[in-house]
Structure 1
């Protein structure tokens, strides 16, 4: 694969090469049409989401080469609509937004559609909500054009917060007109997220199954796993179990195990004890490769879920016995919260606690359910490819290792535990 991509760079992206027999001349480099370079970029980007992560660095190089070519191109180059489309695709593929601004500002011949360029400039500057009306009017004219799938993907992104259902329709068109590409991968992944937001599990599982069949080797598959866990936890019932098992069937054992661990963690935090125990058991059953840490985490999440149950003593002993080195910073915070809740639940009532039953509601602090703020899922040992660059990944790890005391998951678990104490107070009041 690397040899083939290197060949593409030599012929289409035009790496500077020494002059000689069959070597590309400098003037050939300067005259290469932008649309030919964009074809190579699209090939590389599609290769990345299909599993060739070694092409990520090549993608960055090609974006830089195309940027240089577009800025140095004579205005006459853009008389060819293919080169205009190339400039727009470049901007929508992670290119420099200032290059699109430069080209549109110098377009005296009217080769660029000002509606499209203005919408893209606003979108790339973080003002996506402002482009919905104008772009939704202009995009249908380009539905069958080369830039059509890109425009519909961006329109779906801009619409997603205002109207998730309408955004999914834009994503559907984008992916159906660009199968097997980075556009389809992004549209499917984001559609799963929107289906969760729209509380439409049928569509969510359909999108998730399609994604699992095609793009589990994408570097963005970890983001898909996060959203799929949300979907599974929110809609894990008898009918959904079969669909979830079908989707996980496309994954190898380590990936299935990681998903079940994530589900167990989220379910334990959300107070869904049966689901947390079931997911923990399935994760532990997938530990046939001898890996110790997944089994430890499965037992930990099962114990975490059992804290508010009749098995609180055994659950507390189980999670307390796990060494700190076996848990991430966030999981250690959850364990400490669970221990605090368990201690409060089993502590014998004293005189002060009995008087709480007669306190007015206005004297009691109002607790909020912080579990909705919980955003990070997983155990920190995901086998899924990460879309982060090494620098960004290191930064995220450093961030996860600091500020554990203010972890929203910790606060959410404590809040749920306090609600259990209020229930006990209510029982004491009823017994007076």
Structure 2
């Protein structure tokens, strides 16, 4: 041992002795020699802190929540094992003695279990007995009503409960459910419950789910600044979540609805959000935005996002072909870009496309044929002779052609959504 490491060891031992957590041996001396000042006085044993034993229902639910938190961190194994664990826990809970459910901690564990993905059977069994404390009845009955789809009753029973006074394992989950119960009628109230859920369960699947939902509620009410801020937070903290793929798809649709390509300033903010991702993740999101923009008929957004995706494609043939498809499918209805867009469609390698994009390619070609190769309008029957002042002018062929093209584009958009 070097003099430096020996000195470091003695400093640690001295600190532990100062806290009363180490005996003389920790300081490097023999127990029988004392400390040089106390005359060989023996060390006092430290009693362990008392830890209350948890009941089986509580321990089982804690195990489930730990597994689900791994899902938020991106563990696909945890996601695959969740169903098996839930079935095991349900079987164990159903075999508990009726007296188990007279304890509030066990009742709350059962409610947490069903709100975390378990079935309603255990709550039905509990309520069939007569041992549920009256103070816990609204929670148990409300949770069962929620699982059984009785939304009005669930809202009446669960929303008044203060989640801040619930035990840690239940608090965040309860706030998350409360937000879902009020979102239709009170989006602002739903956002407050989601804020509370995030505060009560930081770093868990509850926080991941609350943040994910909050982003889309903000998109629905059009709060662009808060949408941007929380989207960046989600992309920074939960980009590896098993549910991040679902988030990215809905995020792309929300970006398009909010028209982030409407001007350079808004598109720059979109780029700032996506810059939180690695190049591959950024590329995939640009593709999702481009496809959503094609579906929604937002040509400028589709072309801009497709160009960004293509620039990030590298040697990935599938990404290159998808970006070309989205850019061209949007471009065929843009004045002055038809020929360029049609050439792009013809250059797309169909074999490199996923099935859904191959369908979009067919729809784009159908629309292009309608725009370019419309048959001439049928000749109108000669109107009866009338005075010149009251004569009806024949319909111009350009107007008929324009109406037909608009219908073809509408058909394209409809088919691409299917």
TM superposition score normalised by structure 1:
0.72
3-state SS of paired residue (1:113): helix
Instruction: Look up the SS of the partner of 1:138 in the other structure.
Output: coil
**Which residue of 293, 298, 312 corresponds with 2:323?**
298
Q: Is the 8 A contact 2:297 2:413 kept in 1?
A: no
Unaligned runs of 5+ in 1: 1-30, 372-405, 414-432
- Aligned residue pairs total 345
Q: Is the 8 A contact 2:287 2:306 kept in 1?
A: yes
Q: Residue 410 of structure 1 aligns with which residue?
A: 415
What is the alpha-carbon distance in structure 1 between the residues aligned to residue 360 and residue 154 of structure 2?
42
Q: 2:222 aligns with which of 182, 192, 199?
A: 199
- Distance change in 2, residues 1:411/1:59 (3 Å): closer
- Contact kept, 8 Å, 1:192 with 1:227, in 2: the verdict is no
**Partner residue, 1:343:** 369
Higher mean C-alpha displacement, 143-152 vs 298-307: 143-152
* Structure 2 gap ranges (5+): 1-53, 381-393
Return the TM-score normalized by structure 2.
Answer: 0.74
Supply the distance in 2 between the matched residues of 1:350 and 1:193 (Cα, whole angstroms): 47
> What do residues 379-414 of structure 1 show as CA deviations (whole Å, max 9, x unaligned)?
xxxxxxxxxxxxxxxxxxxxxxxxxxx99741779x
Q: Secondary structure at the match of 1:298?
A: helix
Offset of 1:129 from its aligned partner? Answer: 4.5
Deviation, structure 1 residue 344: 2.4
For residues 268 and 303 of structure 1, the distance between their equivalents in structure 2, rounded to whole angstroms, comes to 10
Match of 1:128 in 2: 151
**CA offset digits 1:62-113 (Å, max 9, x no partner):** 2223212221222333343322221111111111211111112224252672
Shift of 1:117: 1.6
Aligned with 1:102 (options 125, 137, 152): 125
Alignment of 1:150-169 (within 5 A): 150-169=173-192
Equivalences for residues 4-403 of structure 1 within 5 A: 33-110=56-133, 113-139=136-162, 142=165, 146-235=169-258, 236=260, 237-288=263-314, 290-309=315-334, 310-347=336-373, 350-352=376-378, 356-357=395-396
Distance between the aligned counterparts of 1:105 and 1:138, measured in 2?
23
Corresponding position of 1:390: none
- For the structure 1 residues 64 and 268, does the alpha-carbon distance in structure 2 shift closer, same or farther, using more than 3 Å as the test? closer
In 2, the alpha carbon distance for the partners of 1:317 and 1:114 equals 68
Larger Rg: 2
